Chain A
Amino acid sequence: MGENMINTIIAISQDWIWEARREAYWPRSIELYGSQIGFLVYLCAAIAVIVLLVGLYRNMRVWFHGKYDQKEQTLFAFILTLIKRGFKNIFSRSFPKRLYYGFGAGILKRESMQRSSFIVHTMIMLGFIGSAIATISITIHEYIFHEELLVGPLYLLLNIGADLAGVLLFCGVIIAFFRRFFREKTYYERAGVEDLALLLLLFWISISGFFVEAARILYGLNHLPLTIEGTTFANLDFELTSFIGYPLALFLGLFIKNDNMIFTIHAFFYLSHLMCILTLAIILTFSKFFHVLAGVGNIVLTDVDKPKGQVRFSADGISKIEDFSFYQLLEASACMKCHFCHNYCPAQDSGEPLSPLKVIQDVKNWGKQKYGLTQSKKNETMLGEHSGLTQDVLWACVTCYACTNACPHLIGHVDMIVGMRASLIEEGDVPGTFTTMLESVYQYGNVWNQPKRERTNWLKEGKLPKIKKSESKLLWLPGDTLAYDPRNQKVARATYEIFSKSGLDYGTFGDSEKNDGNEMRRLGEEALFQMLAEDNIKMYQKRDVKRIVTSSPHAFNTIKNEYPEYGGEFDVVHITTFLLEMIEDGRITFNKDLNLEVTYHDPCYLGRYNDEYESPRKIIGKLPGVTFREMPNHGQFSYCCGGGGGNMFRETPEWVETRISEKRVLEAKETLDNSQHSNGYKKVLVTACPFCTSMLTDALKTQQLEEEIEVMDLVELVNAAMDNSPSSNEDST
């Protein structure tokens, strides 16, 4: 019995497999609709293709007005460079990374509901690509191979693939629709007409595709036995591989008997299917759907290996479209308004007018305005009210990297914003507090407007060792803020005590230390940064520095990622990494319970920029008597303190109700609430950056939380835990 069935199935399937043929009568039947319709269809197709090409041209026209790789390159030479670069990028070690992004896996960067977003996107993407491949291969099969390509197994494979793609597309679109307009209303509150139109088009494309298929099969079923290209079929069982189309045909067969009805149904769905595709082609270059082309282009061409902590912009600053690089304008076109950057931006969250999304869109729109189809308005300055890129927007950026980190399309928001700031700096349009700070750095080498000779005044007892006399050539850079800011001077003293207690051989530059330049570069003051970097590199090299420990993550970032551009390659670590090494080596031992309940704020320049999330947490884990609790926003999704990118020195504008730092301490308070330890445990918000310490301490004061929480640098905790000098003295004596 079983054997018989298997034999039958094999027999049937053999027939299917080798005999299957697409019913070729159908495409010719377009003549049945009348030649006018045929002509109209071709006309519409031609128009759509022209619009698509024109739209593409418009976008590309803007890109090619950006800066080329080298100044003297001609357009043709640059296109060759691009092609070369594209191939080089694809066949390089970064290929898996590019494939990852190309597949839309950048969506996984979103913190909540990331997997479902990714699955829905993948469904739509595979469905769309699959359907497109099916349609194109049928066209090739008919017009180029005259019905001789997709025969037998190939045809069945196509059937299965096409229906699978259709199902994926259909389900993906339905889920996406519900997510946008019902379930995730808050997240997709900005989903508007554009989203609706695109989803409806895709929806109808998938639906009508099935109906066209079903009508074709139904016609065949009604005309059995059927002769296709000389082969006669007694049944159309092989069409079962169209696992949606075949049942749908049977279902339609219940109501529709005569051929004319079938033709009408087919005509309706076939034409509407075609029109939807043509509409999609028409709006492709004008909508967020353009990311399927520009996004892929960007993923292929962009430099994915660029260190995160390195800003790149045209040295002259960006004040007009021509100042952007080709790649930046391509990036702007690749933006599909997913709002990830907008939702992660702490400045936006605190009520600033800055939205990274809007910055990118403003750049894109300004480019399109200035370079239309034929007219070009060259060298028009774009910064100001007329483009939306105002000073308030640009100075509000805290360069926390949350936007670029969240972007699924590798768009460099921070680079663009910093570039535009550079042109404001060049013009002198700078808020007064920044002016004071920048002038102070130029004149005195520190951001705090203090004399050089007072740099080591924080040290009340003892003597700072000089790098000249140190044997290990281990350089400690306390940085400006540790040196001059009263709150952070405590951190400087704590570091000094740790180093002294552990008997470390190290050295400093004392009074002659200079600002590292990280903030200057983020403010767009490139020349000042260059000056500082060159001076510092010369100074480090002169003293033959072997290793650098920085107290500020900002200095760490710029020395690690940006000094190599100026010929200074140094082994640099942040103090947390260094302390962890010392703890693991046994050079630091803890002998005092701290009785603290702590949470940790990731400094942007340590975490997001340099991926150092673990060391501080490991140190906290090793501190005796410390309970650790994680805040909801941590790791790469950590919030900011609001002090990066020079914004430590910016006056809070009146439209900001709750500052970034205040939001962060409130989050910390909530995390540390409901203490497990009823008494004796102090609550501490730990961080590892002088700017964070300073900003968050201020925020505690303005939020009246001083009684409840304390902000401390990790170094202070380490010092406190290894305190207990009497016992250690006893040990040593």
Chain B
Amino acid sequence: MNILVFVKATIDRNAPLDPDEIFPGDRDDKSDVMTNNYDKNAIEAALRIIEEKGEGKVTAVCLGSDMADKVVKEAIAMGCHGAIRIENSKAEVTHFFSVAKILAAAAKKIGEYDLLLFGMQSYDYGTATMAPMVSEFLDLPLACWVEKVAFTNGKVVVDKVIEGGIRKVEIQMPAVLSIASSGDFEEPRYTSVRRIMKASKTEVPVWEIADLGIEEKKPSVEFDDIEEPPARTEKCIVFDDGDANELVGELIGALKEKGLNLGAYK
């Protein structure tokens, strides 16, 4: 069984925010970059499937600049058998639609695959659209937010999260799955520093977008700008000193003063 896992490099949640540097490729410090944590659930799922089957190969695919090297190598350290980075220097391709096209093309180029796994969404933008788009471009069946994976007669049976429950779906392989951060794959395995060190010595092949046979030269949608919201001037007022009944009155008075619509309450 060949599994492709698509991983994304995002800005570390503890890195300082800067509207001018919202893509990993914009940053200079490697410690500002981290693996999208939902993708770790996908890697965990891929590794578990392979471990259960006893045979197969997991390949991690990542679109990113050299800052994403760390992410690719972390995937290898976690246990992926191989990895491919698609060079996206200086973040020239940023829109989801173009990214999905590139990933689909990469999957086509790799050729042999039974499952394509995605994290359920990305940590930074959280659109959760990559798996559906890639499945559309490759014309493959899709299951989103998968909590559990099993196999019967060459088909994959998944438990996917729907509102208020779980839906069991049987899908023909190859298929595209996005893995939920709950259920079986909730806790991705720990990657020891020793493994990271070992993985950092491996060579990861780098593909160019141009080699993937994508027709459009320019991305269909371009990222324009991102701005920091204006700083808030309002201050938080806490009413906690005194009798509760009086405090409620004070609170309502303050809200009315601000011109808040209190609905039926007059």
| Chain A residues in the interface with B (C-beta under 8 A) | 425-432, 434-435, 438-439, 442-444, 449-453, 525-528, 531
Complex Cα distance, B188 from A525, in Å, reads 17
The answer, yes or no, to whether B189 is at the interface (CB within 8 Å) is yes
**In the bound complex, do residue B194 and residue A527 qualify as a contact, i.e. CB atoms below 8 Å apart?**
yes
A428 with B31: CB separation less than 8 A: no
B12 near A430: Cβ-Cβ < 8 Å: no
B34 within 8 A of A: yes
Option from B31, B79, B190, B195 in Cβ contact (under 8 Å) with A430: B190
Sorted nearest first, the 7 A-B pairs with minimum C-beta distance are: A428-B189, A527-B193, A451-B14, A430-B190, A527-B194, A432-B187, A528-B193
Q: How many residues of B contact A (CB 8 A)?
A: 20
In the complex, the answer to whether B192 meets A527 with C-beta atoms within 8 Å is yes
Tell whether, in the assembled complex, residue B189 and residue A429 are in contact, meaning their CB atoms are under 8 Å apart. yes
**Beta-carbon contacts under 8 Å, B178-212 to A:** 186-197
8 contacts across the A-B interface (CB closer than 8 A): A426-B192, A429-B190, A435-B188, A449-B14, A450-B14, A451-B14, A525-B192, A528-B192
Q: For residue A450, which residues in chain B have a CB less than 8 angstroms away from its CB?
A: 14
Give me 10 other A-B pairs in contact (C-beta within 8 A), A428-B189, A443-B34, A531-B193 excluded. Answer: A425-B192, A427-B189, A428-B78, A428-B190, A428-B191, A435-B190, A439-B191, A442-B193, A451-B14, A527-B193
Q: For the complex formed, measure the closest distance between the CB of A392 and the CB atoms of chain B, giving whole angstroms.
A: 15
Closest to A432 in B: B187
By a CB distance below 8 angstroms, the chain B residues around A434 are 190
Question: Main SS of chain A's interface residues?
Answer: helix
- Of all chain A residues, the one with the shortest Cβ separation from B79 is A428
A252 and B242 CA atoms in complex are apart in Å by: 96
Report the Cα distance A443→B196, complex, angstroms.
Answer: 12
Known: A426-B195, A527-B197. A443 touches B189 (CB 8 A): no
Q: Which residues of A contact B189 (CB under 8 A)?
A: 427-430, 435
- What's the nearest-Cβ distance from chain B to residue A316, in Å? 9
Contacts of A451 in B (CB 8 A): 14-16
Instruction: Report the Cα distance A452→B15, complex, angstroms.
Output: 9
Q: How many angstroms from the CA of A444 to the CA of B31 in the assembled complex?
A: 8
B25-75 at interface with A (beta carbon < 8 Å): 31, 34
- Residue contact A453 to B16, C-beta cutoff 8 Å: yes
A430, A452, A453, A526: the one contacting B194 at CB < 8 Å is A526
Cα A439 to Cα B14 with chains together (Å): 13
Report B's interface with A, CB cutoff 8 A.
12, 14-16, 31, 34, 78-79, 186-197
**Chain A positions within 8 Å of B197 at CB level:** 527
Q: How far is the CA of A426 from the CA of B197 in the complex (A)?
A: 12
- Name the residue of chain B whose CB is nearest to the CB of A430: B190
Q: Are A435 and B195 in contact (CB under 8 A)?
A: no
Question: Are A435 and B187 closer than 8 Å at their CB atoms?
Answer: yes
Please report the C-alpha to C-alpha distance between residue A527 and residue B193 in the assembled complex, in whole angstroms: 6
Tell me the minimal C-beta distance from A452 to chain B in angstroms: 7
Which chain A residues border B195 with CB–CB below 8 Å? 426
The reply to whether A438 and B190 contact each other, CB–CB distance below 8 Å, is: yes
Q: How far is the CB of B118 from chain A (nearest CB, A)?
A: 21
Rounded to whole angstroms, the CA-CA distance of A432 and B194 in the bound complex is: 19
Residues of the B chain whose Cβ atoms lie less than 8 Å from the Cβ of A525? 192-193
Q: In the bound complex, how far is the Cα of B193 from the Cα of A428, in angstroms?
A: 11
Distance, CA A425 to CA B193, complexed state (A): 9
Interface contact A425-B190, CB-CB below 8 Å: yes
Question: What residues of chain B lie closer than 8 Å to A442, measured between beta carbons?
Answer: 193, 196
A527 to B195, CA, bound (A): 9
Give the residues in chain B near A531, CB-CB below 8 Å: 193
The CA of A452 and the CA of B194, in the complex, are separated in Å by 23
A513 to chain B, nearest CB (A): 16
Q: Which residues of B contact A432 (CB under 8 A)?
A: 186-187
Q: Which residues of B have CB within 8 Å of A435? A: 187-190
CA distance A666 to B193 in the complex (A): 40
Shortest CB distance B235–A (Å): 18
Chain A residues whose CB sits within 8 angstroms of the CB of B196 once the complex forms: 442
User: Please, which residue of chain B has its CB at the minimum distance from the CB of A438?
Assistant: B190
When chains A and B are docked, how far (Å) is the Cα of A452 from the Cα of B14?
A: 8
CA distance A725 to B189 in the complex (A): 53
Q: Which residues of A contact B78 (CB under 8 A)?
A: 428
Residues A428 and B14 in contact in the complex (CB < 8 Å), given A435-B187, A443-B31, A443-B34: no
Smallest CB gap from A445: residue in B: B31
User: How many angstroms between the C-alpha atoms of A528 and B190 in the bound complex?
Assistant: 13
| Cβ contacts under 8 Å, B188 to chain A | 435
Chain A residue nearest to B33 in the complex (CB):
A443
Q: Chain B's nearest CB lies how many Å from the CB of A649? A: 12
CA distance A49 to B87 in the complex (A): 74
Distance to closest chain A CB from B69 (angstroms): 16
Which single residue of chain B is at the shortest CB-CB distance from A315?
B194
Closest Cβ neighbor of A435 among chain B residues? B190
In the complex formed, the residue of A with least CB distance to B12 is A443
Residues of A within 8 A of B194 (CB): 426, 526-527
Nearest-neighbour CB distance to chain B for A46, whole angstroms, equals 52
Q: Which residue of A lies closest to B16 (CB)?
A: A453
**A51 CB, nearest partner CB in chain B, Å:** 44
Min CB–CB distance B180 → chain A (angstroms): 15
Shortest C-beta distance, A517 to chain B (Å), equals 11
Residue of B nearest to A451 (CB): B14
A106 to chain B, nearest CB (A): 36
Most chain-A CB neighbours within 10 Å: which of B31, B193, B197? B193
Residues of A within 8 A of B192 (CB): 425-426, 428, 525, 527-528
Q: How far is the CB of B199 from chain A (nearest CB, A)?
A: 12
Counting chain B CB atoms within 10 Å of each CB, the highest count among A426, A428, A438, A443 belongs to A428
Of listed B186, B187, B192, residue having the most chain A CB within 10 A: B192
Set of chain A residues within 8 Å of B31, measured between Cβ atoms: 443
Q: How far is the CB of B21 from chain A (nearest CB, A)?
A: 16
Chain A residues within an 8 Å CB radius of B34:
443
Q: Which B residues are in CB contact (< 8 Å) with A431?
A: 187
How far, in whole Å, are A452 and B188 apart by their CA atoms in the complex? 24
By a CB distance below 8 angstroms, the chain B residues around A425 are 190, 192
Nearest CB on A from B139, distance (A):
35
Return chain A residues, CB-CB under 8 Å to B190: 425, 428-430, 434-435, 438-439
Establish whether residues A444 and B14, one from each chain, have CB atoms under 8 Å apart when the complex forms.
yes
Chain B residues positioned under 8 Å from A526 (CB to CB):
194
A426 CA to B194 CA in the complex, in Å?
8
Once the chains are docked, how many angstroms separate the CA of A432 from the CA of B34?
A: 18
* Residues from chain B with Cβ under 8 Å of A444 in the complex: 14
Question: B31: nearest residue on chain A (CB-CB)?
Answer: A443
Which B residues lie within 8 Å of A427 (CB)? 189
Find the B residue at minimum CB distance from A530: B193
Pick the most buried of B188, B190, B195: most chain A CB atoms within 10 A of its CB. Answer: B190
B18 to chain A, nearest CB (A): 13
Question: Considering only CB atoms, which chain A residue lies closest to B47 in the complex?
Answer: A428
| Chain B residue nearest to A444 in the complex (CB) | B14
Q: Chain A's nearest CB lies how many Å from the CB of B191?
A: 6
Chain B's closest residue to A424 (CB) is B190
Distance in Å from the Cβ of A609 to the closest Cβ of chain B? 24
Per the bound structure, the CA–CA distance linking A450 and B12 in Å amounts to 11
- Measured CB to CB, the nearest residue on chain A to B194 is A527
Q: How far is the CA of A531 from the CA of B190 in the complex (A)?
A: 17
| A residues in contact with B187, CB < 8 Å | 431-432, 435
Residue numbers in B under 8 Å from A528 (CB-CB): 192-193
- Within 8 Å CB of A426, what residues of B? 192, 194-195
CA of A427 to CA of B34, assembled, Å: 21
- Chain A residues with Cβ under 8 A from B16's Cβ? 451, 453
Q: In the complex, A450 Cα to B15 Cα: how many Å?
A: 10
Chain A residue numbers with a CB within 8 Å of B15 are: 451
CB distance from A518 to the nearest CB of B (A): 16
The distance in angstroms between the C-alpha atoms of A431 and B187, with both chains bound, is 8
Q: B9 to chain A: closest CB distance in Å?
A: 14
Question: Nearest chain-A residue to B77 (Cβ)?
Answer: A428
Tell me the complex Cα distance, A313–B31, Å. Answer: 31
B6 CB to nearest chain A CB (Å): 21
Among B187, B188, B197, max chain A CB count under 10 A is at B187
By beta carbon, the residue of chain A nearest B34 is A443
In the complex formed, the residue of B with least CB distance to A529 is: B193
Taken together as a complex, chains A and B put the C-alpha atoms of A570 and B187 apart, in Å, by: 40
